[in-house]
A and B are shown apart, each in its own frame.
Chain A
Amino acid sequence: MIREIFHRKAVFIAGMLAVALSVGIGGGSFTLLRVFDRETEMILQAKHDEVELAWARFRDDVRRSMLELGFNLIIVHKEQTLSTPDEETRYLPETYADTLATAGLMTINHVLPFLQKQVWWEEQKRWVTLYGTPGEVQVNNPARQVPIVRSIRPGHASLGRGIHESLGLRKGDRFVMMGREFVVQDCRLAEGFQEDEQIRIPLDEAQQMLDKPGLITGLMAINCVCDDPEGLAKIRSAVSAVLPNTHVREHRGNMVVRAEERSRAARETEASLERERRSRADLRTRRETFNAVLLPSVLLVAALWLGLMTWMNVHHRRGEIAILRAIGWTEGRVFRLFLGKAVLTGVLGGLVGYVGGQLILAVHLGFSNVQLYGAGMLIVSILGATMLALLASWLPASLAARVDPAVVLQQE
């Protein structure tokens, strides 16, 4: 058989190359899919790490806001709730600000009294929240921090984003509200739903406009130190002792806003991860579908080509087969002769196809990717190629075994 192969090298090489090509394409497509999976794993892992990082930042912000930078608290009348109508608002005396500031509470760093009310802005025909504040009251605290809230100058106003954007007002512009003229001191960035609709003015001017002399809606205690998980309870207790008939509630501050931003960023990263996951899964499905069409086509063409090669080989060797049958070779022996050649074609084709395919991929994708399957893939390639060659050669080999020597010898 080996000598016959050497005698008809071209036919054998053509058949072997057909097998090698199909193995190369088959193995290559599986390897590419595997490489794609590895890329997917890496991309998703990177995204996952981003999500983890985003959530870590969020947790860190929360921890810092809870343990290091403290709470923002709002102190209001104990009967004041969110659902209390404006006309029934319970006010606190303005002196509460000084009382709290001078109480010597180590937890309190910044005190900001305010008077707030929703009003109809006749000049602009819209509702706004008028917010009067004198700025921070100096706190009697040895560890006092630098003031973080600037006071508003008389006759000036600080505008929330919702207002200055809708009215097109800028720093230095003038506007009239409830018959009183104000100069825009600053235009604030986005802070929140309520804050964006606030016009902040000096407290005394707000008291005059709202007819609430000496009264405030509440006090903001900003950046209260809270060095243990029970800190909030301790602050509440201390404040209640100093300011009777009050209720202390948490109020979100910049840290909370930032934490919310972090949270939103983390969720967006998570969503991005999910989108990437879906996109890669979709891409993989499309590749699988392509492979599902390509592979059978390649195998079919290779099988037909190999079958044709074997049939031509049988045709060219009819005289030889006839004489072999005449001198005593059985049909089975002739059949095995051709199937043996098919096995050799399959083994060599599988080997060449695997090595060739992986080498081409290695050149294009890097050598680290060619060891994805290793010996297992090599064995599968050789076995698969051998099966392909056997199936393709089965019919021609059967025809060879059934060659009638009498007919052939008479013809020749």
Chain B
Amino acid sequence: MTLQVRQVSKTYRGAGKCVQALLDVSLQVSPGELLAVHGASGSGKSTLLLCCGGLLMCDSGEIIVDGLCPYALGHRRRTAFRAEKVGFVFQQFHLIPYLNVLDNVLAASVKRNSPPSRERAMNLLEQFGMHDRLRHFPGELSVGERQRVALSRAMVNAPPLILADEPTGNLDPKNSRVVFQALRDYAESGKAVLVVTHEDVSLSLAHRTLMLDRGRLENQESRG
């Protein structure tokens, strides 16, 4: 398994309030699989993703990515783990406004100045139809193009796991389909992809879907 989540719980505490974000969540994503977790806003989807990506420590349970538990690693090694093992895609794209398209992709590259990294970045951008926009800045791109750049950035290190948080939330149906198809293609190249979304239209391309409701996994269904 590329990603194993075992009985993970997470509670946010603060100002006398407790919010149970995740409760005994268990799931796994195999290589070659795109798993979509859907649910309403506030159901704990983003929390699940951050925990899986080694950014947010859960209160209990265990998370294993490509055989490693990120929270068992030290600070520095966990940072390296994120760079090498995980690719992130966000709804807001989070592109760096003063870097051009190519440099945005290379910013995530472990060996960003090496020719192979550069070649891989350019190949990815070409694959996403961005080969003629390499020197453009994010402010000069459409939202669909920005998300394609964000996808290229997530894939540039060829991580075994991609975590996507509402990747099509700001896109029109056509672009949503392009992005989801790209994620599926990436999964089918032998990697694992976990997508959290609340859009039904995106779910049709997932290999498997799960529903998260107030921090609990409700059902599981398989698709083609």
Contact = CB atoms under 8 A, between A and B. Distances in A.
B98 A326 contact: no
A328 B82 contact: yes
B188 interface: no
A401 B219 CA distance: 40
A4 B55 CA distance: 25
Contacts of A8: 98
A3 B96 CA distance: 11
Nearest to B81: A328
Contacts of A327: 82-83, 87-88, 107-108, 153
A410 B50 contact: yes
Contacts of A4: 98
B209 interface: no
Contact of B84 (A3, A323, A326, A328): A328
Indicate the member of A327, A405, A409 with the most B CB atoms within 10 Å. Answer: A327
Interface in A395-412: 405-406, 409-410, 412
A411 to B, nearest CB: 11
Contacts of B76: 330
Contacts of B56: 406
Interface string A312-325: 00000001101111
B92 interface: yes
A328 B90 CA distance: 15
Given A4-B98, A7-B97, A7-B98, A328 B53 contact: no
Contact of A3 (B88, B98, B165): B98
A326 B76 CA distance: 12
Q: In the complex, which range does the number of interface residues on chain B fall in?
A: 20 to 34
Given A4-B98, A327-B153, A328-B80, A406 B50 contact: yes
Contacts of A7: 97-98
B8 to A, nearest CB: 14
Given A326-B53, A328-B82, A328-B83, A409 B90 contact: yes
Contact of B75 (A324, A331, A405): A331
Interface in A321-367: 322-331
Given A328-B79, A328-B82, A412 B88 contact: no
A330 B82 CA distance: 10
B92 A412 contact: yes
A127 interface: no
B110 interface: yes
Given A328-B83, A328-B108, A331-B75, A323 B50 contact: no
Contacts of A324: 96, 107
Interface in B50-90: 50, 53, 55-56, 75-76, 79-80, 82-84, 87-88, 90
A6 interface: yes
A412 B47 CA distance: 13
Interface in A210-265: none
A326 B163 CA distance: 11
B55 A326 contact: yes
Interface in A366-412: 405-406, 409-410, 412
Contacts of B94: 319-320, 322-323, 409, 412
A328 B55 contact: no
Nearest to A6: B98
Contacts of A331: 75, 79
Given A327-B107, A331-B75, A409 B96 contact: no
Contact of A409 (B50, B99, B103): B50
Contacts of A3: 98-99, 103
A107 B99 CA distance: 105
Interface in A292-328: 319-320, 322-328
B96 A326 contact: no
B201 to A, nearest CB: 24
Nearest to B83: A328
Contacts of A406: 50, 55-56
Contacts of B82: 326-328
Nearest to A4: B98
A8 B92 CA distance: 21
Interface of B: 46-47, 50, 53, 55-56, 75-76, 79-80, 82-84, 87-88, 90, 92, 94, 96-99, 103, 107-108, 110, 153, 165
Given A324-B107, A327-B153, A412-B92, 10 more contacts: A3-B103, A8-B98, A319-B92, A320-B94, A326-B55, A328-B79, A328-B83, A329-B79, A406-B50, A410-B47
Interface of A: 3-4, 6-8, 319-320, 322-331, 405-406, 409-410, 412
